[in-house]
Structure 1
Amino acid sequence: MRSGLPRVAAATAPATPPPPLPGLDPAWSRIVTVPAAVGPGGAARPERSWHLLDTAGSLAALGVEPVGTLLCVHGNPTWSYLWRSVLRTSLDVAAAGGPAWRVVAVDQLGMGFSERTGVQHGLADRVRDLGALTDELGLSGPVVTLGHDWGGVVSLGWAVDHPDLVVAVTTCNTAVHQPDDAPIPAPLRLALRPELLGRATVLTPAFLETTLAIAHPRLDRPTADAYRAPYRGAARRG
């Protein structure tokens, strides 16, 4: 990049729990380590640590068995906090005697409070990584996927790989197909220019702040700060 800024920060850090944040029950937070393994074709997959939100413990405390799982995958520049109302509503429904759906909302690697790996993760990598995590969780069906932004594409890839588990898929603000001869939209082409990309996404929080500013209704300061929490500093935004 002509700006001299890496798209992926070299810094690495393990997964950590988030600090106390509005609307987030600490009982939902989990750190899950996916052990190293040999993947398809003999490629080595290193050990990775994930942060995720999971209502399994809260459902157990209510004494109810889940009827299925909602698997929630965020996009950029958010994290699992995006799905907090889904977790809360699902538990309220279960407590009232309705269907008890377990909700698992992940922080993608290099994002949220999951491990900063220091390497780039392409789409195929992210789909495989998510599959390794759900294998470690022992996720069983029925599963409904919820995906936002390019998290929707990752969740759809996971669904294709797990047809025996998936009963429905849901996406929002997600593109699922781009014709080979269709140009990238002009605003995105501008944002992806090397002299802009690193400054907007890594060196400064401009991309994050722009995203938060267009929320409707407007986010209150504590909620906006919660979205900012995992991305303070260039290394955390890499």
Structure 2
Amino acid sequence: MKTKTLTKTDILGYVFLIISFAFGLYYANTDLNYFDTVYAVEDGFVENSQFVLLLCSSILLFFYFFKFFKHKNVYWKIGVLVMAIAFFFASGEEISWGQRIFHIQSSEYFIENNAQHETNLHNMVVDGEKINKLIFSQLLTVMLVIYLLILPVVYRKVASIKKLADLFAVPIVKWHHTIAFLIATGLIVFVHSERKWELYELAFAVIFFLIFLNPFNKKEIFTAKS
């Protein structure tokens, strides 16, 4: 039987997210300069929290990969490995692969073609448009709608989709994950700053970590069951 109750980790994650959003909303509406230059600034609290949580998701997925490697088929291994690499890539992109931390100079190519003159892909500019806007934002929005709203329903009702999702180890959200994303989406409207997306990305990082820890289909995909 799948429990519908929140785990202690879920509660801790949501409390952290609520506090982070509360401070973000407060600063964005009382001291926008502080929000932009301190709270949500590059390498600030919000961005560093994103990095840590995205990296934790990657580490958790690699842990699953090696722990259950001998019990699972090649499709499961492909699914988990792709997700682990994707979240490792996302964590690296978030801090420009440590460039600012280690004071590494960007190459001439990135200086000319990156909106922030840094060594990362999501801020690259193509024909005057940032890749982050064209792909990472618009495409990700469509994927999130499918993943958070459509897939959970289809998974529960269509046996073939359930079988395919479990085969490739796709974690299915519990409804509290979906509700948390919807609330975060609603609250972000009240942050009147271009840097509000840093706060939204933090919600993404927190909630996905919670999804990987305890998905709806955890018994099917993250146990030794073949």
TM bracket (short chain): under 0.3
Provide the TM-score with structure 1 as the length reference: 0.27
TM, length-normalised to structure 2: 0.28
As a proportion of its length, which structure holds more strand? 1
Q: Identify which of structures 1 and 2 has the higher relative contact order when contacts are C-alpha pairs closer than 8 Å and 6+ apart.
A: 2
Flag the structure with higher helix content.
2
